[in-house]
Amino acid sequence: MKTNVILIRAHGGADNLRYEEFDLPPLAEGEVLIRNTACGVNYADIYEREGDHGGPHSAKPMPIVMGHMAVGIVEETGPGVSTPSAGTRVGYIGPNSYAAHTIMPAARVFPLPDALSDDVAGGYLLRGLTAEYLVRRLYPLGPGKTALVHAAAGGMGLLLGQWGRKLGARMIGTVGSDDKMRIARDFGYDAAINYTTEDFPDRVMELTDGTGADVIYDGVGKSTFRPSLDCIRPRGMVISYGTASGNVGEFDLQLLHSKSIIVTRPTLRSWIADAEEARAAAQATFAFLADPEVQTPIGEVLPLKDAADAHRRLESRATTAPIILKP
Protein backbone atom coordinates (compact mmCIF):
# COMPACT_ATOMS: atom_id res chain seq x y z
CA MET A 1 0.00 0.00 0.00
CA LYS A 2 0.98 3.64 -0.37
CA THR A 3 1.08 6.16 2.45
CA ASN A 4 2.26 9.74 2.97
CA VAL A 5 5.56 10.22 4.81
CA ILE A 6 8.22 12.79 5.64
CA LEU A 7 11.61 11.66 4.35
CA ILE A 8 15.09 12.91 3.55
CA ARG A 9 17.24 12.07 0.54
CA ALA A 10 20.35 13.75 1.97
CA HIS A 11 21.49 14.91 5.40
CA GLY A 12 21.28 18.60 6.19
CA GLY A 13 18.92 21.30 7.40
CA ALA A 14 15.16 21.32 7.87
CA ASP A 15 14.67 22.22 4.20
CA ASN A 16 15.79 18.67 3.36
CA LEU A 17 12.55 17.25 4.78
CA ARG A 18 10.20 16.17 2.01
CA TYR A 19 6.49 15.21 2.10
CA GLU A 20 6.10 12.31 -0.32
CA GLU A 21 4.12 9.20 -1.09
CA PHE A 22 5.85 5.98 -0.04
CA ASP A 23 5.29 2.27 -0.69
CA LEU A 24 4.86 0.04 2.36
CA PRO A 25 5.64 -3.68 2.05
CA PRO A 26 3.10 -6.39 2.94
CA LEU A 27 2.91 -7.29 6.62
CA ALA A 28 5.36 -9.98 7.66
CA GLU A 29 5.10 -12.51 10.48
CA GLY A 30 4.52 -10.78 13.83
CA GLU A 31 3.92 -7.29 12.39
CA VAL A 32 1.04 -4.83 12.66
CA LEU A 33 0.00 -1.88 10.49
CA ILE A 34 -0.67 1.26 12.53
CA ARG A 35 -2.63 4.29 11.31
CA ASN A 36 -0.81 7.08 13.10
CA THR A 37 -2.88 9.77 14.82
CA ALA A 38 -0.15 11.80 16.57
CA CYS A 39 3.57 11.74 15.74
CA GLY A 40 6.08 13.04 18.27
CA VAL A 41 8.89 15.41 17.32
CA ASN A 42 12.12 14.93 19.25
CA TYR A 43 15.70 16.18 19.16
CA ALA A 44 16.77 12.67 18.14
CA ASP A 45 15.02 13.34 14.82
CA ILE A 46 17.19 16.41 14.28
CA TYR A 47 20.35 14.42 14.99
CA GLU A 48 19.34 11.89 12.34
CA ARG A 49 18.35 14.56 9.82
CA GLU A 50 21.75 16.21 10.24
CA GLY A 51 23.61 12.92 9.95
CA ASP A 52 24.99 13.06 13.49
CA HIS A 53 25.90 9.40 13.86
CA GLY A 54 27.68 10.11 17.11
CA GLY A 55 24.14 10.57 18.40
CA PRO A 56 21.52 7.91 19.05
CA HIS A 57 21.08 6.65 15.48
CA SER A 58 23.43 4.82 13.13
CA ALA A 59 23.73 5.56 9.42
CA LYS A 60 20.93 4.31 7.15
CA PRO A 61 20.63 4.10 3.37
CA MET A 62 18.71 6.91 1.70
CA PRO A 63 15.90 7.77 1.53
CA ILE A 64 15.21 7.80 5.26
CA VAL A 65 11.64 8.07 6.53
CA MET A 66 11.93 10.31 9.58
CA GLY A 67 10.56 9.94 13.09
CA HIS A 68 10.98 7.62 16.06
CA MET A 69 7.72 7.79 18.03
CA ALA A 70 3.99 7.93 17.41
CA VAL A 71 0.62 6.71 18.59
CA GLY A 72 -2.22 5.43 16.52
CA ILE A 73 -4.69 2.62 15.90
CA VAL A 74 -3.85 -0.90 14.77
CA GLU A 75 -5.47 -1.22 11.36
CA GLU A 76 -4.25 -4.66 10.33
CA THR A 77 -2.36 -7.56 11.89
CA GLY A 78 0.11 -9.82 10.15
CA PRO A 79 0.47 -13.60 10.37
CA GLY A 80 0.93 -14.96 13.88
CA VAL A 81 -0.31 -11.85 15.69
CA SER A 82 -2.95 -12.39 18.38
CA THR A 83 -2.41 -9.16 20.29
CA PRO A 84 -2.83 -6.30 19.86
CA SER A 85 -5.97 -6.76 17.81
CA ALA A 86 -7.22 -4.44 15.08
CA GLY A 87 -8.77 -1.31 16.56
CA THR A 88 -6.41 -1.15 19.59
CA ARG A 89 -4.91 2.25 20.44
CA VAL A 90 -1.17 1.88 20.79
CA GLY A 91 2.03 3.86 21.18
CA TYR A 92 5.44 2.82 19.92
CA ILE A 93 9.09 3.79 19.76
CA GLY A 94 10.43 2.89 16.35
CA PRO A 95 11.53 4.18 12.97
CA ASN A 96 9.43 5.63 10.14
CA SER A 97 6.91 7.35 12.42
CA TYR A 98 6.59 10.62 10.43
CA ALA A 99 3.96 8.87 8.36
CA ALA A 100 0.26 8.31 7.93
CA HIS A 101 0.89 4.57 8.42
CA THR A 102 3.79 2.64 9.97
CA ILE A 103 4.57 -1.07 10.22
CA MET A 104 5.87 -2.24 13.61
CA PRO A 105 6.58 -5.57 15.32
CA ALA A 106 3.55 -6.39 17.47
CA ALA A 107 5.84 -7.14 20.41
CA ARG A 108 7.15 -3.56 20.38
CA VAL A 109 3.87 -1.64 20.60
CA PHE A 110 2.23 -0.61 23.87
CA PRO A 111 -1.57 -0.46 24.32
CA LEU A 112 -2.64 2.94 25.64
CA PRO A 113 -4.89 3.37 28.69
CA ASP A 114 -8.20 5.12 28.09
CA ALA A 115 -7.17 7.93 30.43
CA LEU A 116 -4.32 8.97 28.13
CA SER A 117 -5.15 11.01 25.02
CA ASP A 118 -3.50 10.47 21.65
CA ASP A 119 -1.96 13.95 21.73
CA VAL A 120 -0.39 13.57 25.18
CA ALA A 121 0.89 10.08 24.40
CA GLY A 122 2.18 11.23 21.01
CA GLY A 123 3.95 14.23 22.51
CA TYR A 124 5.36 12.56 25.60
CA LEU A 125 5.96 8.85 24.97
CA LEU A 126 9.64 9.07 24.08
CA ARG A 127 10.26 11.80 26.65
CA GLY A 128 8.30 9.83 29.23
CA LEU A 129 10.21 6.60 28.65
CA THR A 130 13.46 8.56 28.79
CA ALA A 131 12.46 10.24 32.05
CA GLU A 132 11.41 6.85 33.45
CA TYR A 133 14.81 5.24 33.08
CA LEU A 134 16.65 8.41 34.13
CA VAL A 135 14.84 8.91 37.45
CA ARG A 136 13.74 5.34 38.29
CA ARG A 137 16.49 3.05 37.03
CA LEU A 138 19.75 4.77 36.00
CA TYR A 139 19.85 7.04 39.07
CA PRO A 140 16.79 6.35 41.26
CA LEU A 141 15.57 9.57 42.81
CA GLY A 142 13.93 9.76 46.21
CA PRO A 143 13.81 11.68 49.48
CA GLY A 144 17.15 13.18 50.46
CA LYS A 145 18.42 13.38 46.87
CA THR A 146 19.11 16.65 45.02
CA ALA A 147 18.98 16.66 41.22
CA LEU A 148 20.10 19.39 38.82
CA VAL A 149 18.33 19.41 35.44
CA HIS A 150 19.60 21.48 32.52
CA ALA A 151 17.00 22.97 30.12
CA ALA A 152 14.43 22.57 32.88
CA ALA A 153 11.70 24.41 30.95
CA GLY A 154 12.04 22.24 27.82
CA GLY A 155 9.95 19.20 27.00
CA MET A 156 12.20 16.76 28.88
CA GLY A 157 12.92 19.18 31.70
CA LEU A 158 9.24 19.65 32.47
CA LEU A 159 8.80 15.89 32.88
CA LEU A 160 11.95 15.37 34.94
CA GLY A 161 10.99 18.15 37.34
CA GLN A 162 7.55 16.69 38.00
CA TRP A 163 8.63 13.05 38.20
CA GLY A 164 11.56 13.83 40.48
CA ARG A 165 9.33 15.89 42.75
CA LYS A 166 6.76 13.06 42.94
CA LEU A 167 9.55 10.70 43.97
CA GLY A 168 10.46 13.07 46.80
CA ALA A 169 13.71 14.54 45.46
CA ARG A 170 14.77 18.18 45.61
CA MET A 171 14.80 19.50 42.03
CA ILE A 172 16.96 22.39 40.75
CA GLY A 173 16.74 23.50 37.13
CA THR A 174 18.73 25.74 34.79
CA VAL A 175 16.94 27.84 32.18
CA GLY A 176 17.72 30.63 29.74
CA SER A 177 15.29 33.39 30.78
CA ASP A 178 13.32 34.74 33.71
CA ASP A 179 10.08 33.62 32.05
CA LYS A 180 11.40 30.06 31.91
CA MET A 181 12.33 30.29 35.59
CA ARG A 182 8.65 30.80 36.38
CA ILE A 183 7.69 27.89 34.13
CA ALA A 184 10.20 25.59 35.82
CA ARG A 185 8.87 26.42 39.28
CA ASP A 186 5.32 25.74 38.08
CA PHE A 187 6.41 22.26 36.98
CA GLY A 188 7.91 20.97 40.21
CA TYR A 189 11.29 22.65 40.55
CA ASP A 190 12.25 23.83 44.02
CA ALA A 191 14.71 26.33 42.54
CA ALA A 192 15.50 27.66 39.06
CA ILE A 193 18.71 29.30 37.84
CA ASN A 194 18.89 31.66 34.85
CA TYR A 195 22.27 30.69 33.38
CA THR A 196 22.38 33.90 31.29
CA THR A 197 22.55 36.07 34.43
CA GLU A 198 24.05 33.70 37.03
CA ASP A 199 26.98 31.31 37.15
CA PHE A 200 25.06 28.07 37.58
CA PRO A 201 27.83 26.01 39.27
CA ASP A 202 28.29 28.69 41.94
CA ARG A 203 24.54 28.96 42.48
CA VAL A 204 24.12 25.18 42.77
CA MET A 205 26.88 25.05 45.37
CA GLU A 206 25.13 27.83 47.31
CA LEU A 207 21.79 26.01 47.16
CA THR A 208 23.37 22.77 48.40
CA ASP A 209 25.45 24.37 51.17
CA GLY A 210 28.67 23.60 49.34
CA THR A 211 27.95 19.89 48.79
CA GLY A 212 26.82 19.84 45.16
CA ALA A 213 24.01 17.96 43.42
CA ASP A 214 23.72 14.19 43.81
CA VAL A 215 22.93 13.78 40.12
CA ILE A 216 22.92 16.08 37.09
CA TYR A 217 20.65 15.39 34.12
CA ASP A 218 22.24 17.13 31.13
CA GLY A 219 20.36 17.18 27.84
CA VAL A 220 22.28 20.23 26.55
CA GLY A 221 25.80 18.88 26.15
CA LYS A 222 28.72 20.97 24.98
CA SER A 223 27.89 24.22 26.81
CA THR A 224 26.88 22.66 30.14
CA PHE A 225 28.86 19.45 30.61
CA ARG A 226 32.21 20.82 31.74
CA PRO A 227 30.76 23.37 34.24
CA SER A 228 28.53 20.61 35.62
CA LEU A 229 31.60 18.83 36.95
CA ASP A 230 32.14 21.82 39.25
CA CYS A 231 28.80 21.43 41.06
CA ILE A 232 28.38 17.66 41.42
CA ARG A 233 29.02 16.17 44.85
CA PRO A 234 31.79 13.65 45.47
CA ARG A 235 30.77 10.27 43.99
CA GLY A 236 27.86 11.96 42.23
CA MET A 237 26.67 11.07 38.73
CA VAL A 238 26.56 13.36 35.68
CA ILE A 239 24.20 11.94 33.06
CA SER A 240 24.75 13.39 29.58
CA TYR A 241 21.58 12.17 27.87
CA GLY A 242 21.36 14.79 25.08
CA THR A 243 23.46 17.24 23.09
CA ALA A 244 21.22 20.16 22.11
CA SER A 245 24.21 22.56 22.13
CA GLY A 246 26.57 20.10 20.43
CA ASN A 247 28.50 16.97 21.36
CA VAL A 248 30.55 17.07 24.56
CA GLY A 249 33.60 15.79 22.70
CA GLU A 250 36.79 14.54 24.30
CA PHE A 251 37.65 15.56 27.84
CA ASP A 252 40.36 14.73 30.35
CA LEU A 253 39.31 11.84 32.60
CA GLN A 254 41.44 13.35 35.35
CA LEU A 255 38.71 15.98 35.74
CA LEU A 256 36.67 13.22 37.42
CA HIS A 257 39.43 12.07 39.73
CA SER A 258 39.33 14.45 42.70
CA LYS A 259 35.64 13.78 43.44
CA SER A 260 35.32 10.26 41.97
CA ILE A 261 32.64 11.59 39.60
CA ILE A 262 30.61 9.06 37.61
CA VAL A 263 29.79 10.13 34.03
CA THR A 264 27.51 8.22 31.68
CA ARG A 265 26.16 8.80 28.16
CA PRO A 266 23.02 6.64 27.95
CA THR A 267 20.48 6.21 25.20
CA LEU A 268 16.86 5.10 25.53
CA ARG A 269 17.16 2.16 23.15
CA SER A 270 19.52 0.39 25.56
CA TRP A 271 17.01 0.78 28.38
CA ILE A 272 14.03 -0.59 26.43
CA ALA A 273 15.89 -3.19 24.34
CA ASP A 274 14.41 -6.03 26.39
CA ALA A 275 10.71 -6.43 25.54
CA GLU A 276 9.64 -7.17 29.13
CA GLU A 277 11.60 -4.20 30.49
CA ALA A 278 10.08 -2.02 27.77
CA ARG A 279 6.54 -3.07 28.70
CA ALA A 280 7.16 -2.38 32.39
CA ALA A 281 8.71 0.99 31.55
CA ALA A 282 5.74 1.87 29.34
CA GLN A 283 3.25 0.95 32.08
CA ALA A 284 5.08 3.16 34.59
CA THR A 285 5.27 5.98 32.05
CA PHE A 286 1.59 5.79 31.14
CA ALA A 287 0.60 5.76 34.82
CA PHE A 288 2.71 8.87 35.40
CA LEU A 289 1.39 10.74 32.33
CA ALA A 290 -2.22 9.86 33.17
CA ASP A 291 -1.88 11.14 36.76
CA PRO A 292 -4.24 14.17 37.00
CA GLU A 293 -1.61 16.00 39.08
CA VAL A 294 0.94 15.79 36.25
CA GLN A 295 0.89 18.66 33.76
CA THR A 296 1.32 17.58 30.13
CA PRO A 297 0.82 20.64 27.90
CA ILE A 298 1.21 20.36 24.14
CA GLY A 299 3.21 23.12 22.51
CA GLU A 300 2.15 23.04 18.87
CA VAL A 301 0.00 20.77 16.73
CA LEU A 302 1.05 20.91 13.08
CA PRO A 303 0.09 18.96 9.95
CA LEU A 304 2.54 16.21 9.04
CA LYS A 305 3.51 18.09 5.88
CA ASP A 306 4.84 20.95 8.07
CA ALA A 307 7.50 18.81 9.74
CA ALA A 308 10.23 21.25 8.62
CA ASP A 309 8.57 24.04 10.60
CA ALA A 310 8.38 21.74 13.62
CA HIS A 311 12.12 21.06 13.39
CA ARG A 312 12.94 24.76 13.11
CA ARG A 313 10.87 25.57 16.19
CA LEU A 314 12.50 22.81 18.19
CA GLU A 315 15.99 23.91 17.11
CA SER A 316 15.24 27.48 18.19
CA ARG A 317 14.99 26.19 21.80
CA ALA A 318 12.04 28.56 22.23
CA THR A 319 9.59 25.70 22.82
CA THR A 320 8.51 24.81 26.34
CA ALA A 321 6.24 21.86 25.48
CA PRO A 322 6.26 19.01 22.95
CA ILE A 323 5.34 19.50 19.31
CA ILE A 324 3.23 16.88 17.56
CA LEU A 325 2.50 16.23 13.90
CA LYS A 326 -0.93 15.12 12.65
CA PRO A 327 -1.01 12.92 9.54
Report pLDDT digits (tens) over 73-106: 999 999 999 999 999 999 999 999 999 999 999 9
**Looking at residue 317, what is its pLDDT?**
72
The end-to-end CA distance of the chain, in Å, is: 16
Mean pLDDT, to the nearest integer, of 300-327? 90
Separation of alpha carbons 113 and 131, rounded Å: 19
CATH 3.90.180.10 in the chain: give the residue spans.
Answer: 2-125+272-326
Give me the CATH topology for the region 2-125+272-326: Quinone Oxidoreductase; Chain A, domain 1 (3.90.180)
Task: Give the best-scoring range by mean pLDDT among 138-147, 238-247, 316-325.
Answer: 138-147
Closest listed residue to residue 153, CA positions, set 131, 135, 136, 176: 176
**Looking at residue 54, what is its pLDDT?**
56
Query: φ, ψ for residue 192 (rounded to 5)?
Result: -130, 145
Residue 133 has pLDDT above 90, yes or no: yes
Q: What is the pTM of this model?
A: 0.87
CATH 3.40.50.720 in the chain: give the residue spans.
Answer: 143-265
Q: Write down the mean pLDDT value for the chain.
A: 93
**What homologous superfamily does CATH list for 143-265?**
NAD(P)-binding Rossmann-like Domain (3.40.50.720)
Mean pLDDT, to the nearest integer, of 115-129? 94
Mean pLDDT, to the nearest integer, of 110-131? 94
Q: Give the angle 271-162-109 at the CA atoms, nearest 5°.
A: 35
Mind listing the pLDDT tens digit for each residue in 27-64?
Answer: 999 999 999 999 999 888 998 999 976 555 667 899 99
Mind listing the pLDDT tens digit for each residue in 192-208?
Answer: 999 999 999 999 999 99
